[in-house]
C-alpha cells in the first residue's frame, strides 16, 4: 500500500506569485525512483540510485522533489523499487512537515505485492499505478526521473506544453554526439516538434545549429492525461514497458510531441557566475564525482544554496562542525564533523566525519560517520558511509594497488565501499 508523507512548503506564497495556478494545480507529479544505478554500482550496492548521497546533506532524489515542490505541485507519487529502504527512510525523515505548514504530500508507491516481477520499466511502473492518475483526474501528468542534479521550474515547461497544444512535452538538453549512447536522442523541426525519438543510439547526427551535439531527453516528460491513459493501455496490450524505448518512439508518428528547451528555463536566484541551465546525469562514478566539484567554491558552477529556489534536504539535528586546526581549501564541511589538524583541498565531508591529525584529503568525498585516521592520505577518493580508514593509509596514489582492493573509475576515482574499513575494537 502507498505510504503518505507530508513535506514543507514555506516558500509557497512567494514561489507561486504570477504563476498559472489553475494549470499547476491540475497537474499530477509521478517521480520514477526505482532505478538500480548499475553504473554507480560501487555506491548502489545497498541503496537505489535516487538515495545516493550528494553534497553535505542531500540525496539525489531531493533535486526533483524540490523542483516540483518549488513549482507549486501539491501531489507527487514517488515510485520506488530496487533497494528502497534507505530512500524510504530519507523521504520520511527529510520530507515531513511541521503541523503549521500548508500540506504537500509525497506518496511512496512500491510495486504491488501481487506483481510477480515488480516494475519492468518506466512506462510499466506508471501503468501498474494507473488508478492513481484516474482517481486524481488531473489535466496533465508530469513524469520525472529522480537521479539528476539541476534546478527547473515546471510551470514554464507546462506553459510551453499548453501553448503549443502538445500531447507530450519532453525536456531536452544538448549533449556531445559521442555521449549519445547514454541518452534518449530526439530530432525536431524548426518549431521544436519532435520528428524522431531513439533510445540510446550508438550513433547520431548532430543538430543543424550545433553539429557536434545532439538533443537529448532529460527523462522529464509532461503528458496530457487523456493521451497518457490511452497510450499506457495500448502499450500494456502490446507488451511495452519503457517510455524511451517503446512508448515515445511510437507516439512520434501520430501525436504532437514537443521538445522543451531546458536552456530557456529561468530559475530565480541563479547567479551570473553559475553555468546556465546546469543539468547533470550523475549515472557514472566520474560524473557523480565531477558534479560534486561543480558545487565547490565561492562562485561554483552550481550553487547549492539558493534561498529563492532551495534544494531541500535532511532535517539535521547534529551539532555544528568543529575545526580544531588544519588547512581547508574550497571544501564543504558538514554538521557534526571534526577537523583536527588535517588538510582538505576540494573535499566534501558529509555528517559526523572525523579527520584525525595529519590526515590529507585531496579532491575527495567522504560520507557520513567516517573516520580518516591520523596521517592517512587520500587523493580522488569517494569514501562511502561508516568507514574507519586506518592511520597512515594511502588511497589514490597507486592505481594498480587500488584496483586490487577497490572499484576504480575510468578516470581514476577510487570508491571505498560502505563499511569496508571496520571500526577498531
Give the model confidence (pLDDT) of 22-45 as tens digits: 588 899 999 999 877 788 888 998
Span of 12-21, 52-61, 121-130 with lowest mean pLDDT: 12-21
Domain boundary among 239, 269, 285: 285
Q: Does residue 67 register a pLDDT over 80?
A: yes
**Which of helix, strand or coil describes residue 216?**
strand
Assigned domain for 303 exists: no
CA distance 353 to 335: 9
20 band by pLDDT with thresholds 50, 70 and 90 = low
**What pLDDT, on the 0 to 100 scale, is given for residue 308?**
96
Name which of 24, 35, 26 is nearest 68 in CA terms: 24
What's the distance, CA 355 to chain centroid? 28
| 82 compared with 266, residue with greater pLDDT | 266
Q: Does residue 17 register a pLDDT over 60?
A: no
Give the model confidence (pLDDT) of 42-53 as tens digits: 899 889 999 999
Q: To the nearest whole percent, how much of the chain has pLDDT over 70?
A: 92
- Say if residue 334 is in the same domain as residue 382: yes
CATH code, domain with 148: 3.90.550.10
CB atoms near residue 410 (< 10 Å): 8
- Say if residue 145 is in the same domain as residue 44: yes
- Say if residue 18 is in the same domain as residue 71: yes
CA distance 73 to 157: 13
- Say if residue 224 is in the same domain as residue 368: no
Number of domain units in the chain: 2
Q: How far is CA 157 from CA 57, 85, 136, 293, in A?
A: 28, 32, 21, 29
Contacts of 400 (CB under 8 A, 6+ apart): none
Residue listed under C-alpha cell 589514490: 396
> Is there a contact between 152 and 267 (Cβ–Cβ < 8 Å)?
yes
Q: What is the mean pLDDT of residues 82-100?
A: 78
- Say if residue 369 is in the same domain as residue 277: no
**What pLDDT, on the 0 to 100 scale, is given for residue 11?**
41
- Say if residue 214 is in the same domain as residue 139: yes
Q: What is the mean pLDDT of residues 214-240?
A: 96
- Say if residue 52 is in the same domain as residue 184: yes
Assigned domain for 423 exists: no
Give the model confidence (pLDDT) of 111-143 as tens digits: 877 677 789 999 999 999 999 999 999 999 999
The dihedral over CA atoms of 148, 362, 382, 348, expressed in degrees to the nearest 10, equals -50
> Is there a contact between 7 and 106 (Cβ–Cβ < 8 Å)?
yes
Q: Does residue 422 register a pLDDT over 60?
A: yes
Assigned domain for 300 exists: no
- For 68-120, the DSSP string reads HHHTT--EEEEEE-TT-HHHHHHHHHHS---TTSPP-EEEEEPPPTT-SS---
Assigned domain for 425 exists: no
CA distance 259 to 68: 19
Give the model confidence (pLDDT) of 387-404 as tens digits: 999 999 999 999 999 999
What's the distance, CA 96 to chain centroid? 19
Q: Does residue 2 register a pLDDT over 70?
A: no
CA within 13 Å, CB half, 162: 16
CA distance 118 to 81: 7
Domain boundary among 266, 285, 304: 285
Q: Does residue 16 register a pLDDT over 60?
A: no
> Is there a contact between 222 and 168 (Cβ–Cβ < 8 Å)?
yes
- Say if residue 345 is in the same domain as residue 208: no
- Say if residue 235 is in the same domain as residue 342: no
User: Which domain does 33 fall in, by range?
Assistant: 3-285
| Mean pLDDT rounded to a whole number for the chain | 90
Q: How far is CA 189 from CA 14, 157, 169, 206, in A?
A: 37, 18, 14, 13
8 band by pLDDT with thresholds 50, 70 and 90 = very low
- Say if residue 152 is in the same domain as residue 40: yes
Assigned domain for 406 exists: yes
Give the model confidence (pLDDT) of 292-325 as tens digits: 999 999 999 999 999 999 998 887 777 889 999 9
**What pLDDT, on the 0 to 100 scale, is given for residue 39?**
83
Q: What is the mean pLDDT of residues 266-286?
A: 95
Does an H or E element contain 228, and which?
A: helix 225-237
**What pLDDT, on the 0 to 100 scale, is given for residue 12?**
41
Assigned domain for 315 exists: no
- Say if residue 339 is in the same domain as residue 221: no
Assigned domain for 94 exists: yes
Its pTM stands at 0.92
CA distance 178 to 172: 17
> Is there a contact between 83 and 46 (Cβ–Cβ < 8 Å)?
yes
270 band by pLDDT with thresholds 50, 70 and 90 = very high
Domain boundary among 258, 285, 312: 285
Assigned domain for 297 exists: no
**What pLDDT, on the 0 to 100 scale, is given for residue 4?**
44
**What pLDDT, on the 0 to 100 scale, is given for residue 123?**
95
Give the model confidence (pLDDT) of 144-195 as tens digits: 999 999 999 999 999 999 999 999 999 999 999 998 988 999 999 999 999 9
Amino acid at each position: 500500500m502507498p505510504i503518505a508523507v507530508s513535506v514543507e512548503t514555506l516558500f509557497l506564497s512567494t514561489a507561486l506569485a504570477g504563476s498559472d495556478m489553475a494549470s499547476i494545480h491540475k497537474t499530477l507529479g509521478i517521480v520514477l525512483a526505482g532505478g538500480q544505478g548499475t553504473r554507480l554500482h560501487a555506491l548502489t550496492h545497498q541503496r537505489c540510485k535516487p538515495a545516493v548521497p550528494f553534497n553535505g546533506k542531500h540525496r539525489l532524489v531531493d533535486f526533483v522533489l524540490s523542483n516540483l515542490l518549488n513549482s507549486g505541485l501539491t501531489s507527487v507519487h514517488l515510485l520506488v523499487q530496487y533497494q528502497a529502504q534507505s530512500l524510504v527512510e530519507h523521504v520520511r525523515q527529510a520530507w515531513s512537515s511541521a503541523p503549521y505548514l500548508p500540506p504537500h504530500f509525497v506518496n511512496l508507491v512500491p510495486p504491488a505485492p501481487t506483481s510477480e516481477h515488480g516494475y519492468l520499466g518506466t512506462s510499466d511502473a506508471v501503468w501498474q499505478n494507473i488508478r492513481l492518475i484516474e482517481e486524481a483526474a488531473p489535466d496533465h501528468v508530469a513524469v520525472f526521473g529522480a537521479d539528476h542534479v539541476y534546478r527547473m521550474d515546471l510551470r514554464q515547461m507546462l506553459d510551453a506544453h499548453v501553448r503549443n497544444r502538445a500531447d507530450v512535452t519532453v525536456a531536452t538538453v544538448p549533449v556531445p554526439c559521442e555521449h549519445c549512447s547514454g541518452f534518449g536522442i530526439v530530432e525536431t523541426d524548426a518549431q521544436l516538434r519532435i520528428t524522431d525519438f531513439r533510445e540510446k543510439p550508438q550513433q547520431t547526427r548532430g543538430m543543424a545549429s550545433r553539429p557536434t551535439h545532439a538533443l537529448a531527453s532529460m527523462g522529464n516528460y509532461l503528458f496530457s492525461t487523456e493521451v497518457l491513459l490511452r497510450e499506457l493501455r495500448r502499450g500494456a496490450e502490446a507488451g511495452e514497458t519503457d517510455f524511451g524505448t517503446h512508448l515515445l518512439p511510437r507516439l512520434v508518428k501520430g501525436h504532437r510531441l514537443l521538445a522543451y528547451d531546458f536552456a530557456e528555463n529561468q530559475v530565480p536566484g541563479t547567479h551570473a557566475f553559475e553555468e546556465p541551465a546546469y543539468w547533470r546525469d550523475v549515472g557514472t562514478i566520474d560524473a557523480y564525482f565531477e558534479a560534486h566539484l561543480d558545487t565547490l567554491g565561492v562562485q561554483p558552477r552550481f550553487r547549492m544554496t539558493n534561498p529563492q529556489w532551495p534544494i531541500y534536504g535532511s532535517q539535521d539535528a547534529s551539532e555544528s562542525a568543529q575545526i580544531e586546526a588544519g588547512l581547508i581549501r574550497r571544501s564543504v564541511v558538514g554538521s557534526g564533523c571534526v577537523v583536527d589538524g588535517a588538510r582538505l583541498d576540494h573535499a566534501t565531508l558529509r555528517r559526523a566525519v572525523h579527520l584525525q591529525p595529519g590526515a590529507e584529503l585531496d579532491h575527495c568525498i567522504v560520507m557520513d560517520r567516517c573516520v580518516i585516521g591520523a596521517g592517512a592520505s587520500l587523493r580522488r577518493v569517494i569514501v562511502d558511509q561508516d568507514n574507519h580508514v586506518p592511520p597512515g593509509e594511502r588511497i589514490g596514489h597507486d592505481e594498480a594497488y587500488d584496483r586490487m582492493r577497490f572499484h576504480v573509475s575510468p578516470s581514476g576515482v577510487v570508491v571505498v565501499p560502505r563499511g569496508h574499513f571496520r571500526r577498531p575494537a
